[in-house]
Structure 1
Amino acid sequence: MSNDNAALSRSIIGNLAELREGEVALPRFLFKHADGLYVDPAKLDDLEALQAAVDRIFSAGACFQGLDYAAFTHLLYDLDLLKTHSQGGETTKPRRLARDIVAFRASRRTLYKAVKMGDGKVEYYFEPVFEEDDGGNTDPDGKPALTRATLDFDEFVADMWLKGIRFGINEPTVREFIATGTTGRFVIARRRDAILGKAADIQELAEEIHRDDAPKELPNGRLDLRQFKNRFPQINKGVHLLKKIPLVLGTPGREISGHLIEPPIPKDFDLGTLAGPGTTVVRDANGEFIVSQNDGFLNLDTQTNQISITEKIVNRDGVSVRTTGDLLLTGDEYEEYGEVQEKRTIEGNSIMIHADVFGIVSSRGGTIDLKRNLVGGMALNQKGDIVIEGVASGATLHTRSGVIRVKRAESCVIIGTKVVIENASNCDILAEEVEIGLAEGCALAAKVIRIERAVPRKQSEMLGFVMIPDQGEFKRKINALSDKLEDLKAVLGKMIAESEKLKANPDFRKYVTIAGKVRKGEITLTPEQQTNLQKMAAALSPHLKLLAKLGENTKAKMAEQSALENQLAELKEIKRVAEAGISCNVAAVGDEIHIRTLPLKPDTPSLFDTPPKELKVKLRGTNSVGEMLFAGSSGTFQWQYSSPQDANA
């Protein structure tokens, strides 16, 4: 309770044998000790008994003094209390609940207003409250004088209890609003919703767990005749196939009224009903598993949901409509000895194929290694290298992050981080770095170009584009940011100067000095001096407000300055990285070739995002873009990019 109320309050705990009016008797599980009021869980028959005792105390016009609200809600609603009581343990020890029980005077009860309840929360309107003066003073009309009163958290809990709010009060918030005299409607209590549990589930541990040669069903319900559901789920002995994820019970919640909110019990199942021939159920410290008992291929019975391991099988028949359909693999590595038919797709990770490929090979990572030829198909790798040890003809090779190595490439579209080709003819190539032994009639763009011999081929020009950063765009952006930064610094300087001028005001400096000493306790003011200080503060109020506003604006401008400086530094770093290492070297020019720069603007769609089908148009349609570096039919060409001096860089 507040200091004034605490000083006037006295304990109303009485003896049952000599109980006087206004006193309350304690049940056997509540007892008074020198340092406070305690609850003895060992003597508590059930939780309802404590709740009933609290209700009687509050209904009798009393409240707890110095209430430990956390202990209060724990003792009232902890579902584990009775269990730990029966087993013994720390929770059977007496728990301090409050300092005492005191009267909650009727004149004080009127200070606490009605609440607004709904949607699992309670709102209370905090406002100034007044009570009649205890000294008998009256106002000019002869009525009892009113004095400013302060709410009390202990009384607040008692009043809320009688209003049906018996759980979920936000103690720190309420105490803060009472202490600061905050005015307004605020949420002071919330329901604690139950947390749903999780039903028992199955976790698939094997990389491929469903073997099914039926056509794959698409999300729209149609069947894809090009794909089987799963063709090659090969399993070794001792592999953990499935793991049972045990059910997780939910966590009960509480209504504001204190009533329990029970979550539903999650569903469960017996893992043994899923273990078929060739598998067994293993239970150990890590959980409950279905484990393969022998090598073989996995089979799932859709009728019984049983999983079984059958005889071993090896596929060397290639990828076609007849043998496998399109393959969507989840393993870490795939090796194929047969031919990949035209329009057939293999999608997996680290793919090696020993025969010719006429279809599409797509990898999520690792290396695509084609031992023979890629004809009219595609090799796509999201993150990793592509190696063609034979010939790539009329094909598309694309990796988002990796090296493409080809022995011979003819009429191909090739996009990669780095491209290395022994012999390239009539190809369109885009990379950060390109190395070619013999380039015939190709159009290529890269930051680093190295060609041993370059010649045109029939009607195909030999074009090279060295990708460089667009200096004009960089300069424009850097200058714009620099100018904006300088303007901002000028504004900041004026604001700081104005603030210093205000601080130099003699009256302001005098007020700050006195107020600081009072705050630190260095001096004590007489009532008259205190009044004078308040008058001084009132007189300086516009001055103080202006200074505070200037401080806020200065802080905002400084944050803006920091953000601009970071943007400028980032842009300069992007420029530096974009300029690093750019070069072009052609050891031998056999016939007419053209080499130009290809300026790239920052913050524009990357050239590497160009769809492969559009790359040819992009490269061969930019013959007038950039600066001509070389146009000739013989000799050699060596060029190293040098960044122009930028006054703002």
Structure 2
Amino acid sequence: MTQVISVPPWLEKIKETDTVFSNGNGIMTSHARAKVGSILSSKESEENSSTEVSDLQLPSFVMQNERGIFIHLESLVNREILLSFLNYIFGEKYYFSNMNYTGITKILYDFEKTKTDFCQNMKKLGKVPEIKIASAFKKFDEKRISLYRKPIIAKGGKSAEYFFGPAYVEEIGENGKIKEVQTKIDIDEFIAAMWDQDIRFGLEIKDIQQAIHEDKQVRITIAREKDPTVGKDAVLEPAISFDIKLGIKESSGSKADMLMYEQSYLHIEKDAPLYKKIPREYGNLGWTIHGKQIDSEVPKDFSIDSYIGIGVQKETRGGTEYLVSVYSGFPRIEEVEITKWKQKVKQMMKIHVDERKTFEKGINVRESGKINKDNDFQSGGDISLDISGKNIFADQNIEANVYASENISVKGSIIGNAHSNPFSGKYEKYGALPKGQIVSDAGNIMVKGRVYSAYLEAKKGKVTIVNIENSVLIADSVEINGDATNCIIIANTIINKKKMVGCTVISGKKIDVAESTEKGNFENIFGIFSRDLTKDIQQKKEALEKEMTSVREMESRIDALVIASFQNMTKYDEGKRLSLIRVLIDILRDSKKIHEEKNKPYIELYKKIEPILIRSGTNWKKLENHTILVAKLSKEIWEETAIMESTQQELSIEIKNIQGTTHMKRVKFLQNRELLSLTIKEMDHIISRLMITGSSCSVCTLENIPAPTTGLFHWKPV
């Protein structure tokens, strides 16, 4: 007999889903776009409640066969449908035989993760993604329903307790009387009974089975609430190590530099990742024993854009947000001090990338160790350790040797020692280490403080200082805005805006001094450097004449031989004839040129004259060398003559106020070299000759320039 069953409530709940229904024996085809399958006819249930039944309406995700009852997870749309299905089964007074309570609980209360993980694993194994939830459906015998008491809900509803003890059912005996027969409660029935008592989550199955097995009076906790797990806030995590490592850096050689630390500061390249955002992670949901959801606290989130500083930009790489450098430089973290748990702590506000590194406490052995010579640096404190860099900026004093490929800027003073002076000889004599040698290879040096016992060099740039004493300056241009005392200054252009005392000055172009003053035995000596190439030019002219004579003699012999062989060439004048001979000689040196020559008469003449030129026995290589040397000497004579004329016009000395003895000399260097190309040894030789009256110089001639002892002085070469 076929029953007609009304639509179960759980079916109404899934009318909005594309679900295929079955009759419990297998999946049937769904209607296209149908939201709910038709209600299928069911078989007449058997009277014995312990046998399998099939008068239940099953959705497509539930399959029943000889192996048991399965849930097809791919067909299950959401947990609400499964919950409605369970309510329907238990509400119809059925229960699951050999129920897989753990499996059903995972699907019901951790649906998304369970479905995703299980389906992926089954597909990898090539299996159908189905979970067995029971062996069969069984009808709950009404006689046994009364065996199951009402659980005791603990205060606050976080757990439920139950009294277990011997169980009895009433039966009619042979005599027709009702008698009590001891029986045992069943775990599957217990689950269904508790579901009917609104205990939907957290049953302690093992404890319950143990109590059933012992069959004695006992009160135990049968269900517990699950608290939500705490999620993780989004965090900004370093993508590189910002830690300072003051261990000694390993060296590939046999010796390690004890001042080269492993990492006293960090330098990064363009597009280097600095920080990355670790996204927030939501905690797992909690569940009451009644199956109600307990939401976890929403983790905190932030925008990584709020941390972007100068020289930094946001990029997404592999789904992760990064802060990366716009250019190569030095990362710097901008922090703010906040109070947290009654303690002051620093909190990062922004990350910047500076093109130069700043050492707040100075560059020294303790704080920085040696630094990389290819980078820009700024020292907030004193520099007391020898360093090399690209551009170096010192906010305080320098008491060490500093070498820069470009610029050096000092807000404080430079303090050296006598051994920094390369002209004193004390370094070699006493073996002491120099201090205060400040050298720029291709940039400028600027000092706002005092310079004392130091050596400053910027041969391709300008040195700008205020006051200087007992020091050496070598630069293309020097500007002293204060006083200069007891110094050696060598530069093309020298400007002193105040007073100069006891200095030795050599200029390659211009000397401009506000006041020259003597103090005791300290007198100023001014030398104006120029190149006297007269002797060299004369020697080259004589050599040129000699070479030209040799060339003319060789060409005239060839010319005479050609004229003697071809009388018809006498119609050419001597100039044309010599020009023709030179062309022929040039062709003879390189026979390939005959194919390049487009003048047919020349080619024909060459063919006739070639045997004569060969018979002449001319050393063509020697003639070529003479010709090359003639061109070289001619060029050098022209260049040196032009240099002498132009440099003469640039020379000038102007001292606005002379007070005391001042020595003026013209230094005529006998080679074609600029002032700053001279070696320290050559400069030292010239300085020593300037200081000794009437002394001779091996590389130059010295001429006195008369100067007054007071007043204005101006000089230019005649």
Query: Into which bin does the TM-score normalised by the smaller protein fall?
Result: 0.3 to 0.5
Looking at CA atoms only, which structure, 1 or 2, has the larger radius of gyration? Answer: 2
TM-score (norm 2): 0.43
Q: Which has the higher contact order (CA 8 A, sep 6+)?
A: 1
